[in-house]
Amino acid sequence: MTREVIVEGVGLHGGAPARVTLRARPGPVALAAAGVEARIDQLEVVSTARATTVQARGAGAPVGTVEHAFAALAALGVTDGVSVAIEGPEMPLLDGGAAAWCEALARLGAPRGGRRLRVARAALLDVGPSRYELAPADSVDVQVRLEIDDPRIAPDARWRGDPDDFVARIAPARTFAMAHEIEELLRRGLARHVDPACVVVIAPDAIHHAGRPFEADEPARHKLLDLLGDLYLHAGPPLGRIRAVRPGHAANARAFRRAVEEGLFVPA
């Protein structure tokens, strides 16, 4: 176990260098940026354009693309004992998923199995074209279904709350994008420094990837990863079943905020 782990890389969207220092220390998990530190429950979502961007309420600088790091914290049950300090406007992309964050937390010796919520009652939350089905259960069961009309893509992914299964199967799922989205980013001078091995690009005539082989359910697994990262901002994932159809960062933020406001997430 070490007291400090540093990870460095560039952001997916802006391409700016970023340095993140994970430190072992007492107290709830906190995010520090531009000299302002806030607990996770003191953060607010300030943008969901292509990623989740958060900021300490009323102060501090926004931090983009937090969902991959937060997914690792969520799936491993890390709620205490770690501070996350970032230098830069956006979390680094690293491997394109959450595997590098899981490895860094393991090197730090971050304590697993923190506080837990539960789903209080069955509910259906519609947010635009997205749908979230919630039901009580004695264990974590998170399901995602994509609505992509593409026979090359398997639309479903599921995770039953096992941290080791997350590390082995969900965390390595890379960021994916449609070819036209990448073209638009490049036209704006963004995403030029991204390692091709970290991103899957889905084009009409081919699925472009490097490094590891592409698997048909990798996009769905990555959407599940993103969902867990967004749930972490609301102290999740809870004990219970969550099935998300056509999830996205904006819909996730709205749905989980509603779940908290309507008393659907309560202490276990």
> ∠31-32-38 over CA atoms, to 5°?
60
Share of the chain above pLDDT 70, in %: 96
Res. 1: pLDDT tops 60:
no
Across 210-218, average pLDDT: 94
pLDDT tier at 192, thresholds 50, 70, 90 = low
Vertex 73: Cα angle to 68 and 78 (nearest 5): 175
β-pairing, 117-119 vs 265-267, is: antiparallel
pLDDT score recorded for residue 89:
93
Q: What is the pLDDT of residue 188?
A: 62
Model confidence at 190: pLDDT above 80: no
Q: Which two tokens stand for residue 25?
A: 């220390």
CA–CA distance from 42 to each of 123, 235, 239 (Å)? 26, 11, 22
Residue 185: count of CB within 10 angstroms of its CB = 19
**Mean pLDDT, residues 55-62 taken together:** 88
- DSSP letter string, 105-167: HHHHTPPP----EEE-S-EEEEETTEEEEEE--SSEEEEEE-----TTS--EEEE-S-HHHII
Q: Please report the pLDDT score of residue 12 as a whole number.
A: 82
Place 99 in a pLDDT band, splitting at 50, 70 and 90. Answer: very high
How confident is the prediction for the chain on average, in pLDDT? Answer: 93
> Does the pLDDT at position 247 exceed 90?
yes
pLDDT of residue 181: 75
pLDDT at 121 over 70: yes
Model confidence pLDDT, tens digit, residues 67-86: 999 999 999 999 999 999 99
In whole angstroms, give the CA distance from residue 181 to residue 177: 6
Task: Of 11, 156, 166, give the one whose Cα is nearest residue 91.
Answer: 11
Amino acid at 138: D
pLDDT digits (tens, 9 = 90+) for 143-177: 999 998 899 999 999 999 999 999 999 999 999 98
DSSP per-residue codes, 229-261: HHHHTTT-PPBEEEEEES--HHHHHHHHHHHHH
pLDDT tier for residue 238 given thresholds of 50, 70 and 90: very high
Token reading at 91? 């979390």
- Say how far apart CA 86 and CA 53 lie, in whole Å: 13
